[in-house]
Amino acid sequence: ARADPDLRRRFVDEAKMATRLNHPHLCTIHDFAIDDDATAYLVMEFIEGVNLAELRTLHGSPGLALSLEIAHQALLALGYLHRKNVVHRDVAPDNLMLSKRDDGIPHVKIIDLGIAKEADRPIEMTATGVFLGKLRYASPEQAGSLAPGERLDGRSDLYSLGVVLYEL
């Protein structure tokens, strides 16, 4: 079975956008392809560590100092995305990876740019009209409170990060 041409186009457009992003606090997407069986895949950097959901499950609250470091590094990445006119749209604990640099300093990377969109592009639901992202962390705008003609912007990601940090 061949992939829906619209889904194929969206995957290629979003993957091309993601491969152009380069920031120390974003997971690097090296390449992408769709094979003859219409299976789409991304080639990403490997991040040795845990996501924030796993961190909380394994160790509880990370404490104030680490939470502030997580906030700072995540904001650096989001600032970069927003200057590039990209909205992540799925900032949540399982999309924030925590690892350690060689010198032992905590290092945060935002992962899963799979539903990131350029801010000036219209928001599209999936073919079945299903919301993409995690409702618990979604801004009111993502949950349907945008007026006709308005576009989602970086403030939505900041709202989601605020919810994540509140939980930390």
Q: What is the pLDDT of residues 17-68, one digit of tens each?
A: 889 999 999 999 999 998 888 888 889 999 999 999 999 999 999 999 999 9
Average pLDDT taken over every residue of the chain: 87
Burial of 124 (0-12, 13-18, 19+ CB in 10 A): exposed
pTM of the model: 0.84
Between residues 141 and 97, the one the model is more confident about: 97
CB 74 within 8 A of CB 61: no
Give the per-residue pLDDT at 57.
95
- Cα separation, 162 vs 136, whole angstroms: 12
Per-residue confidence at 3, pLDDT binned at 50, 70, 90? low
The catalytic site residues sit at 90
- Looking at residue 126, what is its pLDDT? 42
Predicted confidence (pLDDT) per residue in 155-165, tens digit: 999 999 999 99
